[in-house]
A = this chain, B = another copy of it.
Amino acid sequence: MRYDSSHKDQTRDRILGEAAAAIRQHGTRGVSVAQLMANAGLTHGGFYAHFGSKDELVAEAILRAFDDSRALSISRIEGKPPAEGLAMLIDGYLSDRARDMPERACPIPSLAGEVARMGPRARERFEEGLTRLRGRIAGLLVPLGHDAAAAEGLAGSLLAEMIGAMTVARALPDAAASSAVLADARARVKARAGVA
């Protein structure tokens, strides 16, 4: 079973990708190492050839989750003018689809509660992803007439409302009420961003 030199890196990447999806969907405590490895087509024993512990994997998977959802969002908005791009980012973030597919969506609503109870390593990765996302929103606000500081502040506020609305929408038991929360939040956040 000796493989070429890039094989191990590819396997590690596959485990990380599965973890990034699974922890967003089931929470960090809702996925076992064995299940994760099975998702990646492997057996659990090999896990420790790639990661020192489950905690270490989780910390890395948080950043990977930010990367994946960012890539997805960027691919949809690419080439659009700022106002349209920002409106699409907000609509995408707060879509029913994003609510129903947390494994592909922004990790903040699904994981922030748990991250608050985790060690510094996971929290630093979380902060890194969060800062980048806020910076991306701010970057779309600047060409709309805000100076850099105002754009960062407004971006933080808009992101907070989006996080809160998605968090609530995912917890509500009634699908119609949940969709209403998202629709209202989309309208309000876009209005506040000046891209309604």
Tell me the residues in window 94-118 of chain A with beta carbons closer than 8 Å to chain B beta carbons: 102, 108-117
Contacts of A144 in B (CB 8 A): none
Q: Is A181 at the interface (CB under 8 A from chain B)?
A: yes
Produce 1/0 per residue, A145-157, CB < 8 A to B: 0000000010011
Contacts of A194 in B (CB 8 A): none
Produce 1/0 per residue, A132-170, CB < 8 A to B: 000000000000000000000100110111111101101
| A116 CB contact (under 8 Å) in B112, B117, B171, B188 | B171
Q: How far is the CA of A163 from the CA of B117 in the complex (A)?
A: 17
> Is B171's CB under 8 angstroms from A165's CB?
no
Contacts of A26 in B (CB 8 A): 117
Q: Is A123 at the interface (CB under 8 A from chain B)?
A: yes
Q: Is A120 at the interface (CB under 8 A from chain B)?
A: yes
Other than the known A26-B117, A27-B114, A160-B160, what 11 A-B pairs have Cβ atoms closer than 8 Å?
A112-B167, A113-B113, A130-B168, A153-B184, A153-B188, A157-B184, A159-B168, A162-B164, A163-B163, A164-B167, A167-B167
The 19 listed contacts between A and B (C-beta, < 8 Å) are A108-B167, A108-B168, A109-B113, A110-B113, A112-B167, A112-B168, A113-B170, A116-B170, A116-B171, A123-B171, A127-B173, A156-B185, A157-B188, A159-B164, A159-B168, A160-B181, A161-B164, A163-B164, A163-B168
